[in-house]
A and B are shown apart, each in its own frame.
Chain A
């Protein structure tokens, strides 16, 4: 999840635009981690040294590691170590951004240090999938009104991102949330969560994104909007909300219930309280996740 929020951090600091970020997320899916990028991140080489090796590679048909050892920038042992080490997804995103020339390597490394510093993250945290620190990022990101169940709503959003990663894919970036008093939907599915904490959930998107989202969840290749597409998006929302009710029951002894999912098209959502909109930019389109609390 830190990769997804790192993307948005870069966006919020003005390093890249949202189009560049989505383009980089899309591109990162096609990449293999490059040794030079790993070497900089590990502190074994500087950006200038990596650039020099890349230029040399345009003249000589040799691998990066081989040239780096010949030039004295790396030892053979360090090359082996880099080849064996874990390749975290946030570095792959960084490599994509740099290869697309949206940022330089130095800019990315500096931004990564700032990100870790701003959220007090360690290198290990960046490869962790869920922790209390992630909840701190979520709280900072999604400014809900003060509510006795605020921590549970934050858990809900954390679970949403985990379920999106698990069932749809990790090629997304969350954008800053916004609160509305009314919202006009496109293709949407809604479901109410009932109990002591009661709220309405809606997943909304344009039609091409709706079809692609459904395809990802169903692990199929839908080409037109039909009953299977609708059922797929309904199933995702129902499953996600269901898993939340299980967590709430097991961890907090809060018993919640769900209503059956409802399909809506071009409808106007209104609420006396706020409608919180959480846009999530996937490589295939943006989904809007709405919560009325």
Chain B
């Protein structure tokens, strides 16, 4: 797997957050056809089942279904799912809940793009 082939699912109710993250990933070298965006937790679960991404970036505070519920259901579906929570509410309680639910990392907003880059390169095994 490399940056050109990695499949990434972006889930945030903010169209702006999704755009900025996608632009950063494209700049990093990811393929636009391999990046899927959804606006809520239920759509994230549905998209995961259909798209089977290598990596998921998931917000917590969203309508319909929140991120903690979504990561729980994604992990129930696929124990090997790699889900990273990206949220402004990085309280100890939320971080603990997210990691217990199966998230592999928690990124506090405002996002440092270097963290996103590190996470993506970890999944690709450092392959550009």
Residue of B nearest to A255 (CB): B93
Are A239 and B88 in touch, CB under 8 angstroms?
yes
A126 surroundings in chain B (CB, below 8 A): none
A-B contact pairs, 18 of them (CB 8 A): A218-B16, A231-B17, A234-B14, A235-B16, A235-B17, A238-B61, A239-B110, A241-B88, A242-B61, A243-B88, A245-B91, A246-B89, A246-B108, A249-B92, A249-B93, A259-B61, A260-B61, A260-B62
Interface centre among B90, B91, B93 (most CB of A within 10 A): B91
A121 surroundings in chain B (CB, below 8 A): none
Are B91 and A255 in touch, CB under 8 angstroms?
yes
Interface size on A, residues (CB 8 A): 24
A259 surroundings in chain B (CB, below 8 A): 61
Which of B19, B62, B90 meets A246, CB within 8 Å?
A: B90
Q: Does A131 lie at the interface of the complex (its beta carbon under 8 Å from any beta carbon of B)?
A: no
B16 surroundings in chain A (CB, below 8 A): 218, 228, 231-232, 235
A258 surroundings in chain B (CB, below 8 A): 61, 89
Interface centre among A238, A243, A248, A255 (most CB of B within 10 A): A238
**Mask of B79-116 contacts with A, CB within 8 angstroms, 1/0:** 00000000111111100000000000000111000000
Q: Does A257 lie at the interface of the complex (its beta carbon under 8 Å from any beta carbon of B)?
A: yes
**Mask of A138-165 contacts with B, CB within 8 angstroms, 1/0:** 0000000000000000000000000000
| Apart from the given pairs A232-B16, A245-B91, 11 other A-B contacts in the complex at a CB distance below 8 Å | A228-B15, A228-B19, A231-B17, A234-B14, A235-B16, A238-B61, A239-B109, A246-B90, A249-B92, A250-B92, A260-B61
**Mask of A245-265 contacts with B, CB within 8 angstroms, 1/0:** 110111000011111100000
Bound Cα distance from A258 to B88, whole angstroms? 10
Bound Cα distance from A94 to B19, whole angstroms? 41
Min CB–CB distance B34 → chain A (angstroms):
23
List 4 A-B pairs, minimum CB-CB distance, nearest first: A242-B88, A249-B91, A231-B16, A242-B89
Bound Cα distance from A248 to B94, whole angstroms? 13
Are B91 and A235 in touch, CB under 8 angstroms?
no
Q: Does A118 lie at the interface of the complex (its beta carbon under 8 Å from any beta carbon of B)?
A: no
A246 surroundings in chain B (CB, below 8 A): 88-91, 108
B89 surroundings in chain A (CB, below 8 A): 242, 245-246, 257-258
Bound Cα distance from A256 to B93, whole angstroms? 10
* Chain B residues near A (Cβ < 8 Å): 13-17, 19, 61-63, 87-93, 108-110
Chain B contact residues: over half helix, strand or loop, or mixed?
loop
Which of A228, A232, A242, A248 meets B87, CB within 8 Å?
A: A242
Min CB–CB distance A281 → chain B (angstroms):
25
Q: Does A123 lie at the interface of the complex (its beta carbon under 8 Å from any beta carbon of B)?
A: no
Min CB–CB distance B15 → chain A (angstroms):
5
Residue of A nearest to B91 (CB): A249
Q: Does A61 lie at the interface of the complex (its beta carbon under 8 Å from any beta carbon of B)?
A: no
Min CB–CB distance B100 → chain A (angstroms):
16
Interface centre among B15, B17, B89, B110 (most CB of A within 10 A): B89
B19 surroundings in chain A (CB, below 8 A): 228
**Given A238-B61, A239-B110: A260 touches B13 (CB 8 Å cut-off):** yes
B92 surroundings in chain A (CB, below 8 A): 249-250
**Mask of A108-128 contacts with B, CB within 8 angstroms, 1/0:** 000000000000000000000
Are A235 and B14 in touch, CB under 8 angstroms?
yes
Which of B88, B91, B93, B108 meets A238, CB within 8 Å?
A: B88
**Given A218-B16, A232-B16, A235-B17: A242 touches B93 (CB 8 Å cut-off):** no
A243 surroundings in chain B (CB, below 8 A): 88
A218 surroundings in chain B (CB, below 8 A): 16
Q: Does A80 lie at the interface of the complex (its beta carbon under 8 Å from any beta carbon of B)?
A: no
A231 surroundings in chain B (CB, below 8 A): 14-17
B87 surroundings in chain A (CB, below 8 A): 242
